[in-house]
Every structure is written in C-alpha cells, then in structure tokens.
A and B are shown apart, each in its own frame.
Chain A
C-alpha cells in the first residue's frame, strides 16, 4: 500500500475585477489537486476594495471552491509565490491530505480587547487540537494590523510636528486604538494570549494590512469579511512541521538607548536617555535632523531599533508614527533597553533564504513588508532562489511578524523578519 501524498497547490490571479480574480485564484489552486482541498488560505492586496469589493472577491472564490471548505485569509501588502512577486493581485494556498484535522476560528475587536479576541479565537481551535489523534500542531493567524487614526486638528500622518499637535496625537492614540479601533494593531498581545492557551502548537502570526498606507485592512473567514479581527486556522497532522524565523539585522553597536518615558505599555516612547526620543534616535544613527520628514522611513528601515527577548533573540522594531519629540512602535518592546540595528540588502536576502528548508514538501510563511520596501525589485532574487527548490510556495508580506514555538515557550513579535513553515 502506498503512503498517501500530501498535496499542496498555490493559485494566483492578477485580474483587476474582484469577482473574476476570486474565481481565477480558486480555480488555479484547486485544479492542481487530485481531490478537493481540506483547507484554503486566501490573500489579496487591498486593490479589490475599489474594483468590485471583497464581497465580490469572495463570491468569485465560492463560485469555484467546494462548499464547506475551511477558508481563512485577508489583505496583505504583497506576496511571493512560485509564479513571481506581486504587490497587486490575489493568491491562495490549498492543501489536501487525509491525515490532518483542521479548524478555523475568529476573534473580534482585537484593538479594543486583544486578550478577549484571542480567547474567543483560541477556544474553537483548542477543541480541534484536543480531539486530534495527531501530535504535530500548527496555527496560522492573521490579525488586523495598525491603521492611522485621523485626529481633528492633527490629521492623518506618519509625522506629526508641533508641540501641541504631537502632544494631542500622543494622548489620543491610545484612546483611538482602544475605543475607535483606529491605531496600533496590538497583534503581539493577541499572539501572547493565544499562545498561552494553545501552548503545544507552533504559531505563525501575520499582521493584515493594505498597501502600507495603513488606512484599512480586512480579514476573511469562510464567506465573511471582517476588520479589527484575528482569523486563524489550526492544523494537526502526522507530517513533520518546522517553523524557522530569521531577520537580517544585527546590533549596529553596543550602545544602549534606555527608554526613560513611555506610555501605552511601551508602544509610545517619549524619552530615551532622558532626551526627546526622536532626537536621541537621530543622534544614535548619525542622521541629520533635516531628514525629519515623511521620507524618514525609507532611511530608518535600514536602521530600526531593536530589543532582546529573555532568550537573547534580537527583535527589530520599526518606528511607526513620529509624534513631536517621541514616536510610536507598532508593538510593545519586552525590554526598555534598545539598540540601533543595521542590515544590508544582502543580509536581508540571506535571512529570507535561510528560513527556507530546501528539503520540505512545501514552504508557507510571512515576511515583513518593510523587507519589500528595502529590497524593492531585488525581492525577485529571493523568489528565483526559492523556486529552484519548491514547486509550490507562498510567502506573504505582512505588517508585523509573530512566532511562538512550544520548544521556546515565548511568544515573540518582530518587524522586518521572516517566519516560514516547512512541511516535510
């Protein structure tokens, strides 16, 4: 008797019309499988919002996808698969294999109450994992990422200048996030809570986003569309699952930049070394203050700040909004001691390549959209290299990356990092 083969297929569409794209992405994936998929992961860029809407997009998918197929997904900044690299379009991963148990789940209001959303999401997955006869557990979750709030008199901007405006924005951002769900994503809080409940599963957590304008993002589960939510799929199987994570950054030097004034649980940093945080950061990276404009992020993606987790894992954390003398991070740092990190294009490319297990049947994962911004069209170098080893693979470009491994027992969140699942 021959062993049953795990079948995976990646689909793609570049059509502009949402419904047509939905049909094509589903068809192009499932036609490569010899039997109906056991689950379907669906991702798209934000462009379909204006070209038929996500309702139309999902309708197109369900015109083709067998009824009842578990589906989760959402909007991402771009993706890289066996077809190429894209920042516009739709992609999907379909898998069929009888020796796995699948469950999908959703948690609502992640920005308002991430712990409650995580518990709501985890509880359904827990049942599936508990009742499974297989012991290799994996969870992929996509959480609504940050959005830029609009404050009266301040506007919507990555850079808020002026003492009054920046002070107002700095105070309002926490309220806006918690009450209006416009602001910082709080994805690391969702991951932390889910990983406490599902501590025997490897977890990859990506942040849903648009085209990095941070206006909106959407999450899909079955035929529903949500925002400010976490959607997740749990897979329990007899196959070996291996999660690798890596980034291309190292400490630029050993100078410690100590956070001395912060709010919102460390997500807003006002002072470093008792000096305005942004001034101290500029000094540390030797950047002139006249670079303090909306193009700042193009420079700082190469010089993010970073902190160390308890096990010494270095976590890059990109500066989000600049609020007068301070700035926001997209997630909370686990330490008040920050370092300036640096990378080269080559080290970013190498980190991506090193996450890919060339012996695996399939690779699926996430990479930070900041990697796209820093590499630009050089991302094709990575795609071409992965394609040599994998007939089908899918890497999403997300706004933040999280990982939890049962062997480490620490939920970790990053920017500018790659987290890849290899199935063997």
Chain B
C-alpha cells in the first residue's frame, strides 16, 4: 500500500492527509510534522507558509539530513515490522511513526523537553487517520482501474 503523493502545494491544500497534519501542528509542542520518505517530504500541513514553527528553521538543515539517514533504516526494516523510531538532536527530538510495509512515515519534530507521552497518543491517532485515508485512496484507485 502506498499513497501516491506529489509535492504540489495546491494539491496539498485539499489533501485530507494535510488536514490531519494541520490538526497535529496546532498542538503547541509539535514544531513541524509531515509525511515523508527518504529524500522526499510527501505531504506537509496545508498552510504552506507556516508549515513549520519558526524555531525549527535554524536547525532544519541538519535535522533534515539526519531524518534522511533514519529513512535508510525504515526502508530496510519496515517490512519486518519496524513501527517507530526517534532521535534527539540538540534541543529537539524527531519522532517517526512508520506506515506498515511502506517506506513512508509520519514525522514530527518536538522540543526535547516536550511531554512525549501525551504527544505520542496524538501521533498514533494521526497515523491511524492517515492509514484510513490511504486505505480509502487505494480502494478508489482499485475501483477506477477495475
């Protein structure tokens, strides 16, 4: 199962997955969130100008590089059941919630001192919602090609 994604901003605005990310980003301690795979951010929150909270900008380049390295591992082990990964870099943590059997993950950047337990619950809710959307999208595609 794979959600067919483009980086097109107009499309993201109407993308139901972007709406899920919008909800997640409204939480104070979610500084950035996205659906991504290696070398590609697939879906970002729909308000493209403010998709990341400003404090993330100064560290984004190094975070992004580190994220890409994590996606190597996700690609390798997703099929074996790898479900979650995380790393801490300076004052930030990146949480990866992998979509089963894909190379894609829901990624969130949070402050290192954020209450991760509370955020994990909402990350899991978002992952479930996105999986549902992906499932519906897959069904629609099957109907069109049938």
A residues whose Cβ falls under 8 Å from a Cβ of B: 14, 16, 47, 77-78, 84-88, 211-213, 294-295, 298, 369, 372-377, 379-380
Contact = CB atoms under 8 A, between A and B. Distances in A.
B120 interface: yes
A77 B119 CA distance: 11
Given A87-B118, A212-B118, A377-B120, 5 more contacts: A78-B121, A372-B117, A376-B120, A377-B121, A379-B121
Nearest to B118: A87
A374 B27 CA distance: 20
B39 interface: no
Contacts of A211: 28, 115, 118
10 contacts: A84-B128, A85-B125, A86-B122, A88-B122, A212-B115, A294-B113, A295-B113, A374-B117, A375-B117, A377-B84
Interface residues of A, dominant DSSP: mixed
Interface in B107-146: 112-113, 115-125, 128
Contacts of A295: 112-113
Given A295-B112, A295-B113, A78 B118 contact: yes
A376 B117 contact: yes
Nearest to B28: A211
A416 to B, nearest CB: 12
Given A211-B115, A212-B115, A376-B116, A87 B121 contact: yes
Contacts of A84: 125, 128
Interface residues of B, number: 19
Contact of A372 (B121, B123, B125): B121
A87 B112 CA distance: 19
B145 to A, nearest CB: 33
B69 interface: no
Contacts of A375: 117
A84 B125 CA distance: 8
Interface residues of B, dominant DSSP: helix
Contact of B23 (A16, A85, A298): A16
A85 B116 CA distance: 15
Contacts of B124: 85, 377, 380
A377 B127 CA distance: 11
Contact of B119 (A87, A298, A380): A87
Max chain B Cβ within 10 angstroms of own Cβ: one of A84, A87, A295 = A87
A52 to B, nearest CB: 13
A87 B122 contact: yes
A373 B121 contact: no
A378 to B, nearest CB: 9
B117 A88 contact: no
A298 B122 CA distance: 18
B116 A86 contact: no
Contacts of B123: 377
Given A86-B121, A86-B125, A87-B121, A373 B116 contact: yes
Given A295-B112, A373-B115, A376-B116, A16 B26 contact: yes
A373 B117 contact: yes
Interface string B26-66: 11100000000000000000000000000000000000000
A178 to B, nearest CB: 28
Interface string B77-90: 00000001000000
Contacts of B26: 16
A18 to B, nearest CB: 13
A16 B25 CA distance: 12
Contacts of A369: 118
Contacts of A379: 121
Contact of B27 (A78, A88, A213, A294): A88
Nearest to A297: B115
Max chain A Cβ within 10 angstroms of own Cβ: one of B118, B122, B125, B128 = B118
Among all A-B residue pairs, the 7 with the closest Cβ atoms: A373-B117, A376-B120, A377-B124, A87-B118, A377-B120, A87-B121, A376-B117
A217 to B, nearest CB: 15
A213 B113 CA distance: 11
A420 to B, nearest CB: 19
A369 B118 CA distance: 9
A85 B121 contact: yes
A296 to B, nearest CB: 11
A374 B117 CA distance: 7
